[in-house]
Structure 1
Amino acid sequence: MTAPRANRPLLNRNLAEFGTTIFAEMSALAARTGAINLGQGFPDTDGPEQVREAAVRALRDGRGNQYPPGPGVPELRTAIAAHQQRHYGLEYDPDQEVLVTAGATEAIAAALLALLEAGDEVIALEPYYDSYAACIAMAGARRVPVTLRPHEGAFRLDLDELRSAVTPRTRLLLLNTPHNPTGTVLSREELSAIAALAVERDLLVVTDEVYEHLVFEGEHLPIAALPGMRERTVTISSAGKTFSFTGWKVGWVTSTQELVTAVRSAKQFLTYVASGPFQYAVAEALRLPDTYFTAFREDLRAKRDLLCTGLADAGVKVFRPAGTYFVTADIRPLGESDGIGFCRSLPKRAGVVAIPNAVFYDDTEAGTPYVRFAFCKRKGVIEAAIERLSNLRK
């Protein structure tokens, strides 16, 4: 039997460059080899007991077992609006300016599909979370990377390079701060310059802030709080990273009524709704006292420092992150230069899995020597990984 349209590829050509994600490949490698997985960014412990119990209560009480409202349950939308006011002084109408999504990844997809048209250009900070490139491609738009480059132990944004990347076709800036995978936290001065550029060139901004409560140096400042930015910014966050429930897939969008309506128009044809009972639990999580957020951050700070020290002792150059779950290491001091090959061989050599940063770059050469390790694991797991990695110098 002849396959239908045998001369035509089955996969939409916009997605032809995207295969299985590196996270799936490396997590499967960890499972197959028994290596310690410091690759994919998920915690190996659950979040607060009271939040888990809130989800159980919702299930037992029949809340969320059927389709929740399209914008999200009112309790969660109210809690999200209160969170933005409490932490950043940003006011949003929970009925018109808040949208609940199936994690931040769906929020990003819905925002880009809603706001972009074929031929639009999107500036993204490179290296970038891999779904950004795929979502831009699905929208038929063109990504324009602006590379964060190593400088004095961190990865920094060149504002002149950013300004030069803007053309008459630029529609949108896609930001991520705190930044995955580099751990960079954009400063107030940098964000103010980006905001001024967006206002000057009349650009929309979509900003991924899922690591907002994991800033170890500096501060997290939503760009929507800066002058002229609330009306042009779609802010995205989620519960997964802040409360260690990545499997619940509860994210959200806050913006103006007009922008939220646009994003919802795309979102309703993706998952429609999701995570019903968990929405009630996340509403309770967002109301946790400041002591929770402080303790969570300090726990991750200690793990960051532990892993950074261990990696340095193993012989790599470490870029100590100002935020997020991740440490980037330069493997060239080990006499290595190919991060992808290094990561594929690391389980056999050292019993540890990491992620090669090159997959987050359009300019793969710029990312080739860098490798990302996650420290959102139990202390004992990190210590065991450090012990294994110490063999790299032998």
Structure 2
Amino acid sequence: MTMDFADRLERVEPSATLAISNLASQLEADGVDVVDLSVGEPDFPTPANVVDAGKQAIDDGHTGYAPSNGIPPLKEAIVEKLDGDGLDYSTDEVIVTPGAKQALYETFQALIEEGDEVVLLDPAWVSYEAMAKMAGADISRVDLSEHDFQLAPALEELAATVSDDTELLVVNSPSNPSGAVFGDDALEGVRDLAVDHDITVISDEIYDAITYDTEQTSLGSLDGMGERTVTINGFSKAYSMTGWRLGYLAAPEPLVEQASKLHSHSVSCATHFVQYAGVEALENTDDAVVEMREAFEDRRDMLVDLFAEHGKEVPVPDGAFYMMLPVDDDDQAWCEGAIEDAHVATVPGSAFGTPGYARLSYAASEERLREGVERLADAGYL
């Protein structure tokens, strides 16, 4: 029997970040000690109070289906959180999802038809392109690498890229993979273009709690953006809850109504008892978030200094826990060599639309980060 596969899946490749992580896991299974700097997963445990809330929810019997768009206490906590960010949403404008990735997927599917234009800011997280292609989009890209990954200096190029035919623009600040935090001048430029051309904008704010010496502005809080912004967030990064799979989207009610159809017919709902853990995370976990953020900042500073000692100047990220390391033009070969020769796992920048770099995640201990840099240097990769 010969199977014919859907064109929408033939358009995309498997996740490059997970592919590198799988290779690292294979080496580790063979007894190789790999310093894995490829996956954006905090190395901190989920805060104990959040774990306890999840356990209590199980004990309380919250193990059946939840309301499809989310339990009322969590939606109310999300709306309160968003209100603190200057965003005016009601609980009817929120969908709670199994991870922020599902929220993104539902948004692409709700908005994009075959041939619609989606604009990405490179380097862009790998799944944006895949989701856009699966929805049938034509993709245009704006390269920020020549501007230390900042958007403001590239606004003219963005203005030349978007048009009245642009359906969707994706903004991710703080950024994965660069760690860049876009300033108000850049976001106001996005606002002006979105209003002028009637463009819907996804604002992916999954790293909004992880910034250093700067404040992240929520795009939907700007005048004129509330009606055209889909705000995406979740619990994986700020609260070290990657395996809990909990996220959300907030958007104007007409979009929520359409996305809810896909949501109800695919995942049904986010896990019931996990949602109670989410309430606890939003309401009672500020100290743990600060502790993790301070640790990430210390690691960032250490890495910048270590690379400088080896003659490598890196753009200093203002948020998230990633760093773009300049490497050979053939970044794929560099990353493959680094894991094979130095046993250090990184992700090629070309996976994010920016060749010539390798993305490092510093969501690892200082000891392992030092070990990784030393291995790269000893193997001649610095």
- Which residue pairs with 1:340 in the alignment? 332
Q: Give the 3 Å change call, closer, same or farther, for CA 11–129 of structure 1 in structure 2.
A: farther
- Which residue pairs with 1:171 in the alignment? 167
- Which residue pairs with 1:321 in the alignment? 317
CA contact (8 A) 2:171 2:201 kept: yes
Deviation at 1:347, TM superposition (A): 2.0
Deviation at 1:290, TM superposition (A): 4.2
- Which residue pairs with 2:8 in the alignment? 14
SS at match of 1:240: coil
CA contact (8 A) 1:314 1:392 kept: no
Q: Aligned letter for 1:23?
A: T
Q: Does 1:91 align with 2:85?
A: no
Q: Distance in 2 between matches of 1:313 and 1:269?
A: 54
Q: Does 1:383 align with 2:370?
A: yes
CA contact (8 A) 2:126 2:351 kept: yes
CA RMSD of aligned residues (A): 1.8
SS at match of 2:237: helix
Q: Give the 3 Å change call, closer, same or farther, for CA 232–52 of structure 1 in structure 2.
A: same
CA contact (8 A) 2:150 2:182 kept: no
- Which residue pairs with 1:372 in the alignment? 359
TM score, norm. by length of structure 1: 0.90
Alignment of 1:210-359 (within 5 A): 210-288=206-284, 290-331=286-327, 336-359=328-351
- Which residue pairs with 2:40 in the alignment? 41
Q: Distance in 2 between matches of 1:197 and 1:156?
A: 13
Q: Distance in 2 between matches of 1:267 and 1:309?
A: 46
CA contact (8 A) 1:102 1:249 kept: yes
Q: Give unpaired runs (5+ residues) of structure 2.
A: 28-32
CA contact (8 A) 2:54 2:274 kept: yes
Q: Does 1:24 align with 2:18?
A: yes
CA contact (8 A) 1:36 1:353 kept: yes
CA contact (8 A) 1:114 1:265 kept: no
- Which residue pairs with 2:76 in the alignment? 78
Q: Give per-residue Cα distances to partners, 1:320-346, cap 9 Å, x unaligned.
A: 111111000102xxxx33111111111
Deviation at 1:389, TM superposition (A): 2.6
Deviation at 1:14, TM superposition (A): 2.9
Q: Give per-residue Cα distances to partners, 1:290-339, cap 9 Å, x unaligned.
A: 444333321211111122222333443311111111000102xxxx3311
Q: Does 1:58 align with 2:52?
A: no
Q: Aligned letter for 2:60?
A: D
Q: Does 1:132 align with 2:128?
A: yes
Q: Distance in 2 between matches of 1:19 and 1:190?
A: 31
Q: Give unpaired runs (5+ residues) of structure 1.
A: 362-366
Deviation at 1:246, TM superposition (A): 0.6
Q: Give the 3 Å change call, closer, same or farther, for CA 358–149 of structure 1 in structure 2.
A: same
Instruction: Report sequence identity in percent.
Output: 32
After superposing the two structures, state which structure 1 stretch, 75-84 or 345-354, moved more: 345-354
Deviation at 1:137, TM superposition (A): 1.3
Among 352, 357, 364, the alignment partner of 1:360 is 352
Deviation at 1:289, TM superposition (A): 5.6
Q: Aligned letter for 2:22?
A: A
Deviation at 1:269, TM superposition (A): 2.6
After superposing the two structures, state which structure 1 stretch, 110-119 or 292-301, moved more: 292-301
Q: Give per-residue Cα distances to partners, 1:59-86, cap 9 Å, x unaligned.
A: 12211x1111101111111110111123
Q: Distance in 1 between matches of 2:16 and 2:198?
A: 35
CA contact (8 A) 2:321 2:361 kept: yes
Equivalenced residues, count:
375
TM score, norm. by length of structure 2: 0.93
CA contact (8 A) 1:45 1:378 kept: no
Q: Distance in 2 between matches of 1:375 and 1:18?
A: 28
Q: Give per-residue Cα distances to partners, 1:162-181, cap 9 Å, x unaligned.
A: 11112332111111111111
Q: Distance in 1 between matches of 2:75 and 2:69?
A: 8
